[in-house]
Amino acid sequence: MTKALFKKILIANRGEIACRIIATAQRLGIKTVAVFSEADREARHVRMADEAVYIGPAPSRDSYLLIERIIQACKDTGAEAVHPGYGFLSENAEFAERTEAQGIIFIGPKFAAIAAMGDKIASKKLALAAKVNTIPGYNEVVDGPEEAVKIAQGIGYPVMIKASAGGGGKGLRVANNDAEVLSGFVTCKTEAANNFGDDRVFIEKFIVEPRHIEIQVLGDAYGNVVYLWERECSIQRRHQKVIEEAPSPFISAATRKSMGEQAVALAKAVQYQSAGTVEFVVGADQSFYFLEMNTRLQVEHPVTEAITGLDLVEQMIRIAAGEKLAFTQEQIQLNGWAMECRINADDPFRNFLPSTGRLVKYHPPEAINGVRVDTGVFEGGEIPMYYDSMIAKLIVHGANRQEAIEKMRSALNEFVIRGIHSTIPFQAALFQHPRFVSGDFNTGFIAEEYPEGFHHDSVQPSDPYLFAALATFMRHRYLEHIQLIDGQLVGHEMVIAKRFMVVTGRRVGSSDDQYNLPTRIEQKNGAYTIFVEGENGISHYDIASNWRPGTIILQATINGTRKLTAQVVRRDIAYHLVLDGAQYDCIVLSPFGGAMQQRMPIKALPDNSKMLFSPMPGLLTQLCVKAGETVIAGQKLVAIEAMKMENTLLAAQDGVVSELLVQQGDSLSVDQIIMRFQ
């Protein structure tokens, strides 16, 4: 066992990152202390740690953000050091300063570096002084909208209006003309004041077709700083990263070296001691400019660990304990390709609204052959509404980019989550998209490819008849299972039909309500061949699989070469299949049953136009109308909060509220009726 660097450390965080830090600390022989709120009493990080301390009610402002309680927990448990993880207090200079003042070592950079890099205006000035490329712009605080217009005209459109203390896409607007500067300036100041308590904004040039690429750095207390290559983080939705990879498929070796050296220069300028990330925006011509420095461990740090073989949490602990870096820049390897998907509890088919509740089933892919899962949840656990929506991080490592893509596709198909919605269908679709596969993307990729949002028909199966063949195979396997039942009368044993009718809900490529696909199955020496009669003739599929009825995961080899992993939910003769982001619903009948199914009347959907439903689970924070009140189209009705996100519901048309079925402060479930209209 490695000699302990500290005897005991406290992790001032929760969820996935707390579990991640605990795992490394345990490997190093360091005892760990978890902190938890009321909502996290049964959380995984609490179970993993050697000790756990209750620090307050569920809202983070009453627990995880209270510096005094974190420091007191360190004192009460004898923790010598504290690791802040990411989020919460991780980039809070006051927290770092106060812990150090109490004799508790902060596992992260010194508070002066956090403060210097936390202010976007100050950090840009430091970058300029360190001769780091910076975006052309106005680096002073802009006083008013008229001044903003003059500055923007001088820089040249398009420009970005940014809050100095901003982050997560808040306090940021892109303006293409004077009018957009005027409105964007006011909006940014308001958002900045509301979210960060700091309404200062500045203006800089907007880079067309930008890429978001960041450099991981490590610095020790002896002036040694190295960079650990780059991470490509351009696949973003509303400024939130969705997929990260390392290295980047875009930049050249020369650009990589230049960006790395500039990141090191900036880190040295602030005497940086720990793991940190210097973020750059990179233009189509590989020109790159400093954005900001994140003075903490990043969510996407595992992809860097995969290609370098270094444990970044371990490095942070060693640096905080006073050790020198044990390697030089020349000794850092770049091995293979890594990718990460953030698996969040958001419903991609409802505009990514939060999805809270119980994890009825939770089976991540097995962590072998270059697959890694970092998580803070377990089957049967709850996803609370009070914190961010992360369920897990899925990381893969391959010899090259194509191998990493194939591993991620398979791992996403294997990842079973039931009880709540997740982003897996969306990410699985992205990994099939030709632009992503080719590496031809920028930060606008998702907005460009899914301008109307992500829907069930946003991704079509590459071979829809394969789904019909799989459904036929599974139906036949189920009938084989029934055939094994003892006690059948001699001469009257069950005979399994060879012909079926797969009835789908929609004809592929058309708007028909229903479409029937005749199928036929042949079995020989344990192998199955399914014939599907489609518009252009008959397709055949040789299916080799050990799938058994009741198993969610179906792994098969098709036609001797293609290996696939799909998920299936079977309800009697109905099947729901999911493969590579495409979803397929069908029932498998006899040919006669299929003909009769076509004659069945279609039940009309109920009229819900006079009801307001909750689009997501959450807390009803505002109820803005009363029973009997007349409302007009566009009027605010309610506000619902979940996972740091507030969703405002507006009246779709003029009307009168006839009945309120909830009260302000209620916890709502998805699709719960909030009010009725006359």
The residues assigned a catalytic role are 292
SS3 215: strand
Return d(Cα 299, Cα 16) in angstroms, integer: 10
Question: CA 562, 563, 568, 572 torsion: positive or negative?
Answer: positive
| CA 290-294-296 angle, 5° bins | 155
SS3 197: coil
Which residue bears the tokens 């995969």? 306
SS3 655: strand
Return d(Cα 174, Cα 184) in angstroms, integer: 8
Tokens in use for 494?
Answer: 């069950």
Return d(Cα 72, Cα 631) in angstroms, integer: 51
Return d(Cα 650, Cα 177) in angstroms, integer: 30
611-613: strand order across its sheet: 611-613, 673-677, 655-660, 630-631
Return d(Cα 292, Cα 227) in angstroms, integer: 16
Which residue bears the tokens 């009460």? 76
Contact between residue 241 and residue 299 where contact means Cβ atoms under 8 Å apart:
yes
Return the amino acid letter for 420. I
Q: Which of 206, 209, 115, 215 is nearest to 162 (CA)?
A: 206
Q: Which of 233, 445, 450 is nearest to 341 (CA)?
A: 233
How many helices (H) does the chain have, and how many strands (E)? Answer: 17, 39
Q: Which of 625, 635, 628, 616 is nearest to 664 (CA)?
A: 625
Return the amino acid letter for 151. I
Contact between residue 336 and residue 307 where contact means Cβ atoms under 8 Å apart:
yes
SS3 18: helix
Q: Enumerate residues 6+ apart whose C-beta is below 8 A from 584.
A: 461, 464, 467, 471, 504, 575, 576, 577, 578
Q: Residue 408 is inside which H or E element, if any?
A: helix 401-414
Characterize the bridge pairing of strands 499-504 and 515-524: antiparallel
Instruction: Give me the phi and psi of 413, to 5 degrees please.
Output: -65, -30
Characterize the bridge pairing of strands 81-83 and 8-11: parallel
Return d(Cα 426, Cα 412) in angstroms, integer: 10
Cis upstream peptide for 247 (omega within 30°)? yes
Tokens in use for 333?
Answer: 């390897």
Give the chain's end-to-end CA distance (angstroms, integer).
71
Calculate the alpha carbon distances from 374 to 26, 215, 351, 643 in Å.
15, 22, 25, 20
Q: Enumerate residues 6+ apart whose C-beta is below 8 A from 369.
A: 407
Contact between residue 351 and residue 613 where contact means Cβ atoms under 8 Å apart:
no
Q: Residue 129 is inside which H or E element, if any?
A: helix 120-129
How many C-beta neighbours within 10 Å does residue 603 have?
6
Q: DSSP letter for 55, please.
A: E
Calculate the alpha carbon distances from 292 to 111, 212, 382, 420 in Å.
17, 11, 35, 35
